[in-house]
Amino acid sequence: MKQIAFIKVVLTNFKNHSSIEVNFSDITNIRGKNGAGKSSIGDAVTWCLYGKDVMGSKLEPQPIGTDLETKVELLLQVDGKQHLLGRSQKKTAKYYINEVPEKATTFKEFVDSILDEKLFFSLFTPGFFPSQKWTEQREQLLQHISEPLNKEVLSKMGKVESETLKENLKKHSLEDLEKLNKDRKRQLDVSYERAAERLLTLKEQLEQVSADKVDVAAIQKELDPLIAKRTEIEEEIDTFYQRKSARGRIESQIESLVELIDRQKSVVQGIKNEQIQEACQTCGQDLDEKSINKVKENRQVRFDKEVSTGKELIEKLNTAKESLAAMPIPEDIDRTELNEIDDKIVSLQVKLNGAGRVEQLHQNVTAAESNKEKLRKESNSSISILDAIKTFRSVRSELMVNKVDALFTKISVKLYEQLKNGEEKATFEIEMDGKPYSKLSTAEKIKAGLELIEVLSNQSQVITPCFVYNAESILHFTSPPGQLIVARVVDEEFSINPVSLKGAGENE
Ligand SMILES: Nc1ncnc2c1ncn2[C@@H]1O[C@H](COP(=O)(O)OP(=O)(O)OP(=O)(O)O)[C@@H](O)[C@H]1O
Ligand SMILES: [Mg+2]
């Protein structure tokens, strides 16, 4: 526990005091009429330390209308060690530590090393703490109170919600987990919207397509004989062309045979018309009968040969003509029927494709439905995490509130307010008997302030003097942990009376 006590303060030309020395004790009673200069004693202390009045506002204490040098010297004791601090102001300010002149910065550093300025004002002036912004009050009060551990909070939550958070809190902080799941939920909600739209579109398409009901079996029954018929016609067409080409082949064979026979006839005729030469073509001498016969014989041999060739050709021609005559004459094909059948087949197949599309659409609808359901489940899991976070926070707040409440007896402190959406928002308000600080009477405010000082002093482990002014308005109050300086308005001469006590107790 750090102990700060004031031993004495010496004022020179400070507001209405030209020269006064105040010796402090456990209790220092300052009494006098209005305007006697009671509050100025407290101001002198805070001005010396910080250049401010007891409420922490800038102060110009030089006696009005003079150019006198204002000076305050404060002898204080910190954990048993005494320091004499001095500040003076004429045109410029001067600072002293143990009578040694120091720079403003050195002086400030020294004062700050004794105690944080805000904490000093909060402990010295009962009305200072509640005069700060609520955020500062909250921060100052809670800075020494540790938040309950996650484990403690989880143990106070329902089983399902605490299980939901437990594992997740091992990986992420509560804040990150919240950000993560808010973001995840936002994205999932967008995807869910899209999935729902897609499902709707698919269902509409399916409705349209299945409006003209397709009976696959009936179509197939109609289609099968048509395909069989078409195969039959195609076979007929095949046969027609085969026959046509077979006849064509024989016909051209006949044609070439006729030509060959004609040529053969003239070959035979040519041999027949040959004149027998009776004299040698070279010497002109008449050939003998033997030679002539030989020539005749030769002509006869060639003639017979060519005639037999001609006969063979005629035989071939006759055979060809016979087989042509034996060939069936291909009938002309009427393609109208085939075309009609083809048209029917195509239209039936289009219908069958439609049926395939219905099947595909059914599958798509099922897939879209399960996708939508999957997204809904995922989103729900994020919602339960977010809900659990809300519960976690409110349980943690409750534990925190309990911790803080346990510190006070007369006053209570509001740390959270409930928003309309059920979420909790940090706030700070001191209350006494259910009334907010701002509505309290002067005396009630002092009492509340004194309790706060006691708590802050305990929390920060620092004891400082406390300056209660307007104490005339209050009948009884509990002494603060440190020295007490009390200013009271009384219709008598200005007086300062230090009282030493053995122990703290109820004060008159
Ligand atoms: N800079 C100044 N120079 C001269 N006089 C000042 C200066 N500032 C304030 N005063 C006067 O000093 C006097 C003492 O003021 P102080 O506030 O200390 O009186 P008080 O005893 O606390 O009075 P109250 O009972 O009304 O609280 C007042 O008359 C005030 O007007
Ligand atoms: Mg006063």
Q: pLDDT for 108-155, tens place per residue?
A: 999 999 999 999 999 999 999 999 999 999 999 999 888 899 999 999
How confident is the model at residue 284, as a pLDDT? Answer: 80
| C-alpha 70 – ligand 1 centre gap (Å) | 15
**Beta-carbon contacts of residue 203 (< 8 Å; ≥ 6 apart):** 365
Pocket test for ligand 1, best of 9, 11, 12, 15 (most atoms within 8 A of CB): 15
Q: How far apart are CA 452 and CA 178, in angstroms?
A: 35
Of the candidates 142, 145, 115, 81, the residue with the CA atom closest to the CA atom of residue 465: 115
Looking at residue 144, the DSSP 8-state letter turns out to be: T
| C-alpha 89 – ligand 1 centre gap (Å) | 18
Q: Residue 372 above 70 pLDDT?
A: yes
Q: In percent, how much of the chain has pLDDT > 70?
A: 98
Pocket test for ligand 1, best of 13, 18, 40 (most atoms within 8 A of CB): 40
Q: How far apart are CA 254 and CA 258, in angstroms?
A: 6
Contact predicate 267/306, CB 8 Å: yes
Ligand 1 atom 10 nearest Cα = 15
Q: Counting atoms of ligand 1 from 1, which one is nearest the CA of 487?
A: 22
| C-alpha 14 – ligand 1 centre gap (Å) | 10
pLDDT band at 286 (very low <50, low <70, confident <90, very high): confident
| C-alpha 32 – ligand 2 centre gap (Å) | 10
How confident is the model at residue 508, as a pLDDT? Answer: 43
Which ligand does the CA of 14 lie closest to?
1
pLDDT band at 316 (very low <50, low <70, confident <90, very high): very high
| C-alpha 96 – ligand 2 centre gap (Å) | 28
Q: Counting atoms of ligand 1 from 1, which one is nearest the CA of 34?
A: 25
Q: Counting atoms of ligand 1 from 1, which one is nearest the CA of 489?
A: 25
Which ligand does the CA of 38 lie closest to?
1
How confident is the model at residue 353, as a pLDDT? Answer: 84
> For 54-105, how does the pLDDT look when each residue is reduced to its tens digit (9 = 90+)?
999 999 999 999 999 999 999 999 999 999 999 999 989 999 999 999 999 9
How confident is the model at residue 287, as a pLDDT? Answer: 81
According to CATH, the topology of domain 2-133+441-507 is: Rossmann fold (3.40.50)
Ligand 1 atom 14 nearest Cα = 37
Q: What is the mean pLDDT of residues 207-222?
A: 82
How confident is the model at residue 212, as a pLDDT? Answer: 67
Query: Which residues surround the ion ligand 2 when the cut-off is CB under 5 Å?
Result: 38-39
Spell out which residues line ligand 1, taking CB within 6 angstroms.
15-16, 32, 34-40, 61-64, 489
Ligand 1 atom 25 nearest Cα = 34
| C-alpha 429 – ligand 2 centre gap (Å) | 27
Q: Counting atoms of ligand 1 from 1, which one is nearest the CA of 60?
A: 1
pLDDT band at 506 (very low <50, low <70, confident <90, very high): very low
pLDDT band at 331 (very low <50, low <70, confident <90, very high): confident
Q: Counting atoms of ligand 1 from 1, which one is nearest the CA of 33?
A: 25
Least confident of 177-181, 211-215, 317-321, 440-444: 211-215
| 253-262 long-range contacts, CB within 8 A, separation 24+ | 253/320, 254/317, 254/320, 254/321, 254/324, 257/313, 257/316, 257/317, 257/320, 258/317, 260/313, 261/310, 261/313, 261/314, 261/317
| C-alpha 23 – ligand 2 centre gap (Å) | 19
pLDDT band at 504 (very low <50, low <70, confident <90, very high): very low
Question: Which helix or strand (DSSP H or E) is residue 154 part of?
Answer: helix 150-155
| C-alpha 34 – ligand 1 centre gap (Å) | 8
Ligand 1 atom 3 nearest Cα = 63
Q: Counting atoms of ligand 1 from 1, which one is nearest the CA of 61?
A: 1
Contact predicate 494/38, CB 8 Å: yes
Of the candidates 252, 199, 248, the residue with the CA atom closest to the CA atom of residue 369: 199
Ligand 1 atom 2 nearest Cα = 15
Return the amino acid letter for 192. Answer: Y
Ligand 1 atom 28 nearest Cα = 35
| C-alpha 470 – ligand 1 centre gap (Å) | 14
| C-alpha 487 – ligand 1 centre gap (Å) | 13
Q: Residue 335 above 60 pLDDT?
A: yes
Pocket test for ligand 1, best of 14, 16, 66, 470 (most atoms within 8 A of CB): 16
pLDDT band at 505 (very low <50, low <70, confident <90, very high): very low
Q: What are phi and psi of 150, to 5 degrees?
A: -50, -45
Q: What is the mean pLDDT of residues 167-192?
A: 94
Listed by start position, the domains of the chain span: 2-133+441-507, 224-333
Q: Counting atoms of ligand 1 from 1, which one is nearest the CA of 494?
A: 21
Give the CA distances from residue 190 to residues 37, 184, 236, 357, in Å, rounded to whole numbers and listed in that order: 70, 10, 64, 29
- Structure-token pair, residue 472: 């005339």
Ligand 1 atom 18 nearest Cα = 37
Q: Residue 17 above 80 pLDDT?
A: yes
First-to-last C-alpha distance (Å) of the chain? 27
Return the amino acid letter for 78. Answer: V
**Beta-carbon contacts of residue 54 (< 8 Å; ≥ 6 apart):** 39, 42, 43, 45, 46, 121, 124, 125, 128, 467, 469
Q: Higher model confidence: residue 83 or residue 212?
A: 83
